[in-house]
Amino acid sequence: MGAMNHLKFFGHSCFLIHLNGKDILIDPFIRPNPQAASLVDVDELKVDFILLTHGHGDHVADAEELSIRNGAPIIANFEVASWFEEKGCTVFGMNHGGRKDFGFGEVRMVSAVHGSNLPDGSYGGNPAGFLIKAGESVLYFAGDTALTKDMELIPAYYHRPTLAILPVGGFFTMDYEDALIASELVGCDRIVGCHFNTFPPITIDTRKAVRLFSDNGKELILPEINQTINF
C-alpha cells in the first residue's frame, strides 16, 4: 500500500485503514459474508491493529484468526477484549471515554447506541464508536448505532472529523436520513456509508441516498468492495 492515508472497504462495516504507515482493520466480517468472501483474501491480509466496535458476529468473525496470525493487538471494550484475550490474542481493553496513542494516532472510544454480545452468547459490554486523530486527519467511525445526541460532543469537545464512517442501512442501525442528521451533529461533510445492502433488511436505494446528501451540500460515498478512499 502507498504512503497516503486511505481506507479500503471489505464489505458490511469492515474497513482497512492505512494510517501513518500502519494498517488498522475495523470490524472484520469477511469469510462469512458472501459478498466479500470471494473478493477479499483473508489469508493474505496483513494488519497491525484490529479495532472492534462491539461483539456481534457480523463485526468480529475474522478477528481471532487475523489477530493471532499477524500478532495484531485487538482494541475493543474491556469485555470484548477479555473474550479475545482468552483465545490467545493480544488486546487493549478500553472503555467509553478512554483514549490512547497507539503510534499511528490517538484512539478515543466514544458511545454508540446498539447491543453487544459475543458469538457464544457471552456478555459484550457496551457498543462503541472510535475517533482516531493522526495529525490533521480525524476519522470518526460510528460503529453500529442509532442517531444519538452524544454525537454533538465530538466536534464541540474532541475533534471535528475530516471523514466520518456512518451506518446507513436502517433496521439494525440508523438509516441514511438519520445519518444525514448525524453528519450535521459531528460537523462533517464527507461521509462514507457502511452497514447497508449486506442483508435484505438493510437494503437501500443507493442513488436516492447519495442524492439526499448531495442536495444538502454533503458527499456520501457508498463504496464497492475493495474500493479505496483517500483522506
User: Model confidence over 106-119: pLDDT tens digits?
Assistant: 999 999 999 999 99
Three-state SS at 173: coil
The answer to whether the predicted template modeling score (pTM) of the entire model surpasses 0.85 is: yes
Half-sphere exposure of 127 (CA within 13 A, CB side): 20
Strand 74-77 and strand 49-51: the pairing is: parallel
In tens, the pLDDT along 12-40 reads: 999 999 999 999 999 999 999 999 999 99
Distance of alpha carbon 72 from alpha carbon 12, whole angstroms: 21
Confidence bin at 4 (pLDDT 50/70/90) = confident
- Residue (of 64, 71, 69, 70) closest to 87 by Cα position: 64
pLDDT of 3 reads 61
Three-state SS at 26: strand
In tens, the pLDDT along 136-195 reads: 999 999 999 999 999 999 999 999 999 999 999 999 999 999 999 999 999 999 999 999
Q: What domains can be seen in the chain, in order of their start residue?
A: 6-230 (3.60.15.10)
User: Percentage of the chain surpassing pLDDT 90?
Assistant: 98
Distance of alpha carbon 151 from alpha carbon 144, whole angstroms: 13
The pLDDT of residue 75 is above 50:
yes
Average pLDDT over residues 198-204: 98
Q: Which residues contact 79 (CB under 8 A, 6 or more apart)?
A: 55, 93, 116, 122, 123, 124, 125
Question: Do 65 and 91 contact (CB within 8 A), yes or no?
Answer: no
Distance of alpha carbon 171 from alpha carbon 189, whole angstroms: 24
Distance between alpha carbon 212 and the CA centroid of its chain, in Å? 22
